[in-house]
Structure 1
Amino acid sequence: MINRKSKPLVLIGILFVLVGITGSVLSVAELVGVQFASFEDWEQNQGETGFIPLSVPLNLESEYAQEGLPPLPTLPALPEITPGSSSGNEPNSPTPIPVFTITPQATRPAVIPTRLIIPSIQLDAPVLPTKAKQTRIGREVYEQWQAPNKFAAGWYTGSAVLGQAGNTVLVGHHNVDGKVFENLHKLQPGDEIVLIGGMVGYRYQVVNVMILPERNVDVQTRLENARWILPSEDERITLVTCWPAWTNTHRLIVVAQPVGEPLTISEEPAAY
């Protein structure tokens, strides 16, 4: 039987036990990569600079994922590359690009992207695999992909490799840590993008450039933005960063579709 004098001690003991259990649960969750946050905390932690991670529910059977990605518009094909010629070494071309030759095989080799070249904005950058963390917001667990903290684009390892049907997703900072996508907002439909994996290259043509509100909006709006990194049935690449240059209130998303045959790179990739 518990007397009145011992009741406070018992209550304090119960409180310590509950705190200990809560701490253990949080520690285990931390070990498996799940971080807990409220929507308000998430909003406050976005900051004014840097890349805001695109958050995708772990359960991709959600309603917004089932809606799929919209079809891409069709643009005129880019000029073919003559074997032995260069697509970017002509006079007044600001970005040196390796000499390309057309790959003879009819298939499209599947390769992991390792280098990104965008001549119109003078970009030549390495591509690195990105890491993801899991964050619980309310009752939902979201997978958040981070941008590399250096001059490099990040490839979502859960997205498609080059040369196969699917959505190949690249992310990067626009105003910190190397600012690899500093000039991405200057791209226009019809611009060329080259992605290289090893000694194989693929050409793409920009078909969509979108600037979407990201901060100070509800979760559903963020999820609608994140639809652009979901898997697709067609072959496409999606480049993602933030906008404008002095903050990160908006999402900048560039989508491009493949053009032409696979390329063989006739020079060794640059050392980064």
Structure 2
Amino acid sequence: MTSSKRPDLQRFLNRLTSRSILSREEQEAVLDLPAYAEQVRANRDFVRLGETLDHSCLVVAGYVGRFEQNSDGVRQITALHIPGDMADLHSVVQPEATSALQALATTTILRVPHNAVRAATAAFPALAEALWRDCMVDSSILSQWVVNVGRRDARTRIAHLLCEIAVRLQVAPARGEILFPFPLTQNHLADATGLTAVHVNRTIQSLRLDGLADIKHNARIPDWNALAEAGDFDPDYLQMAVRPKKQFPFQLTESNAAFAAQN
């Protein structure tokens, strides 16, 4: 493992500043975080269920699946993480992994020590708020995934997932053909959408025949509006278009300071 370079953290900083206002000093604190790079081969777990962590994992390249599993070992992917995502940022405050992480393709991650994140947020309260907001967006995505599995049919589920990833990669919405890396196998898609691999195969063929999407290592979307309609997709939950607003970092008032002293 080798020490990371600043450009590796830039995409994560871009994600934070798309939703939060950070001063130059606060941005430098993100770029100066110590981090160590590691390449993970496809279909390898690099965070195990129940593991106690002292770092969070930033995705630099590739795709990562967050998953849960039942007592029989059957898995359900509950989130997809793309380059720029801190896949388990929440582990800073909950170090015991309640979800596991797997590389879905050959993936490069940066391991960022928890103590460095804590030190940066202690020095810069606005940065702590930006990280909190980032976790909130992950929660919004999870809520949509619950709706996807529970209330949408197979065609709509897969169309919705493709739309989400296209927006998060910032290649959509757009006019004309959209193309982006999508190395997930049909088994991965089945685990992410609560379908069988056979049903996923049929659904992908249907989307291709209808001219909505073609998936083969990459995802090709000929008509964004048509796919978004097929996927019942509204991007508001991703908060990609939210303009940063003036922040009000936390301060102890007399009343809550007294409460804190008593507890």
TM-score by length of 2: 0.22
**Higher helix proportion, which one?**
2
Greater Rg over alpha carbons, structure: 1
The structure richer in strand per residue is 1
TM-score w.r.t. the length of structure 1 is 0.21
